[in-house]
Amino acid sequence: MKAVHLGLAAALLVLCLSFVQLRASDDEIFYDSFDESFEGRWIVSEKDDYQGVWKHSKSEGHDDYGLLVSEKARKYAIVNELDEPVSLKDGTVVLQFETRLQNGLECGGAYLKYLRPQDAGWKAKEFDNESPYSIMFGPDKCGATNKVHFIVKHKNPKTGEYAEHHLKNPPSVPADKLSHVYTAILESGNSVRILIDGSEKKKANFLSEDDFEPPIIPAKTIADPDDKKPEDWDERAKIPDPNAVKPDDWDEDAPIEIVDEEAEKPEGWLDDEPEEIDDPEATKPEDWDDEEDGEWEAPKIDNPKCETAPGCGEWKKPMKRNPEYKGKWHAPEIDNPNYKGIWKPRQIPNPSYFEIEKPDFDPVAAIGIEIWTMQDGILFDNILIAKDEKLATSYRDEKWKPKFEVEKEKQKAEEAAAGGPDGLAEYQKKVFDVLYKIADISFLSQYRSKIIDVIEKGEKQPNLTIGIIVSIVVVIFTILLRLVFGGKKQQPAKREEKSTVAAESSSDQSSSGEKEGEEKEDGGAAAPPRRRSGPRRDN
């Protein structure tokens, strides 16, 4: 009897496992682990522009294979046509893939294109950047661009035209050479969630004008293209006072600076000593050829005698601010009696406007990688389309996470070795991770590219100090203060004061160009010229 019960239990277990596998199979729409060569499944574009060579290659430090971008500065295109198109209209659809930037990413893309059904007669070997897609998803970085793209193409039911709609404020690309997994979860409730390494970085509503640019649902009204601004429309809020007269004592020709006649040469000034001398330790190279290389001259060094003296070379009286300087006179501004405000065209109903309860995306019929990159070593792996988020999670845990943990430990060891016993490198990495998260905050979007640029410049410093890290934090903190508290508007200054400041600025620029190399002294008090300055030149 016991044997019978054990047999039944075993049968039930097999049945349950078969059911689980069946459920997994049902939820899995497409999956490629690249354990085997991609040839036969993926078709390389034969278009002339795409000369980059794809390779079936191991991920560095692993026995796991992937699809490798093998050459620098090339365009790449490869596509895999699905057995059946995948609908994006009903239920949940999960898009997931791994990318490892083994040599970093300074300028290039590492994203996937989920192609909609192509026109009749289209062939996979003709895949290029003109092949229409429904979704573009993944890393892209070059110059000011540093984002994980999520772009959808949607057909306007009124006009029949397709438009690209970009996710606003997408997350940044991880700044390392580790394996990362990117997940986009399209949910039936009109929302999409973007995950990096299983952590949610962005959630957006397809029909919200705050989440996509341009919005999928267009504005109800638009500016009338036929409405023109009247010729007599005056948009000037202020105008020069027509009744103002320049004061008789206003001298527009007075210079901004004059020689300080009261200044005296500092005691100990070395008039006969040059600021630079020939390096006494320099010797003429043995391979120097006077006929070919010219007469050899020793390189210059700072004159050591000038180190303790107030200055060297010919002394001249410094310049000081001219108390009589007023600059060019301008009439003060007054309120414009004819001011009508800023003109705007009238609004009319938008002929392209439509209303929908959910987006009408075209199905996905193929997966393509069509990129240009200056870096090689980009490895794609474990590309998945599924109906269930849990399946994507299980693939992350099983396929990606073990590799990532190995790479992370190796990186920690390398950083510890580079950072010394105090573990500075590890500390820096944590700080930069926080800074990148701060840069992704939505209300910092208009400053995002500047913040990312500062962070990236800091990361490139091999001997980064805490002071540099603090300076980056200060930049972000300053922006936050401006956003939170705003700037208090100053009361309008008198026109004479404004014109003086403007003239000073203009004169300063002119003076700096005309008197290049001169040292200028602030204020009216006499001050000795600074040491280490170049010899003064007369203009």
Euclidean distance between CA atoms 370 and 138, whole angstroms: 12
Give me the CATH number covering residue 79: 2.60.120.200
Q: Is residue 139 part of a domain?
A: yes
Shared domain for 361 and 473, answered yes or no, is no
Query: Does 537 map to a domain?
Result: no
**176 is in which domain, residue-wise?**
26-221+355-407
Give the DSSP per-residue string, 241-270.
-TT----TT--TT--SEEE-TT--PPTT-B
- Inside any domain, residue 401: yes
Q: How many domains does the chain have?
A: 2
Q: Identify whether the C-beta of residue 134 lies closer than 8 Å to the C-beta of residue 364.
A: yes
60 & 130 share domain: yes
Q: Is the same domain home to 465 and 402?
A: no
Pairwise CA distance, residues 210 & 131, whole Å = 28
pTM for the full predicted model: 0.65
Q: Indicate if 468 and 363 belong to the same structural domain.
A: no
Within-domain flag for 317:
no
Are 464 and 386 contained in the same domain?
Answer: no
Residue 13 lies in a domain: no
- Within-domain flag for 94: yes
Whether 191 is covered by a domain: the verdict is yes
Q: Establish if 413 belongs to a structural domain.
A: no
Q: Are residues 87 and 171 in the same domain?
A: yes
Q: What is the pLDDT tens value at each position of the chain, 539 positions in all?
A: 444 444 544 445 444 444 334 344 578 999 999 999 999 999 999 999 999 999 999 999 999 999 999 999 999 999 999 999 999 988 999 999 999 999 999 999 999 999 999 999 999 999 999 999 999 999 999 999 999 999 999 999 999 999 999 999 999 999 999 999 999 999 988 999 999 999 999 999 999 999 999 999 999 999 999 999 999 999 999 999 999 999 999 999 999 999 999 999 999 999 999 999 999 999 999 899 888 889 999 999 999 999 999 999 999 999 999 999 999 999 999 999 999 999 999 999 999 999 999 999 999 999 999 999 999 999 999 999 999 999 999 999 999 999 999 999 999 888 888 765 455 556 666 677 777 777 777 666 666 766 776 776 666 554 554 555 666 667 667 766 666 555 444 444 433 443 343 344 444 443 333 333 343 334 443 343 333 333 333 33
